[in-house]
Each structure stands twice: as structure tokens, then as C-alpha cells.
Amino acid sequence: MAKKKRSTNKGLVLSAPKEVTWVIAVIFGGLGLLAHFGVFAIGVSAFALVAIGFVILALATAMKGI
């Protein structure tokens, strides 16, 4: 059997975010969805809340220890 070559590409190493960071991102996303469907009104747009949640989650995945 041929051995598999291991990738030496160390470019983008992703890691799982901490649980508290994941929960915060989900809360922002959930608030954005609720605001979009008119459950409550808030001074920030629904899109901004979902975008903030996504950015938090993306940063936490890309940066180790967050």
C-alpha cells in the first residue's frame, strides 16, 4: 500500500471556538432573526445583528483561543 502524503500547508489552521464565544454568536444571530420577523424592534438593523454574530464566529474559528 502506498503511504498518504501529509500536507505541509500551514496557511489557514482553523480551530473550534470556545463555547461561550459560540453562544454569544448564536445569540446575536437569533436576535437578528427575531428582529427580522418583527418579534421585537431594536435600534440596530436585523442584518447588522446577524452580521455581527457571523463575524464573531468567523474570527473565533480563525484565531486560536477565542
The pTM for the full model equals 0.76
Q: Nearest-CA neighbor of 58 among 20, 10, 11, 14?
A: 14
Domain ranges of the chain: 19-62
**What does the CA dihedral 41, 43, 49, 51 come to, rounded to 10 degrees?**
130
pLDDT per position as a tens digit, 14-65: 888 899 999 999 999 999 999 999 998 888 999 999 999 999 999 999 988 7
Q: Who's near 62: CB < 8 A, 6+ residues apart?
A: 12, 14
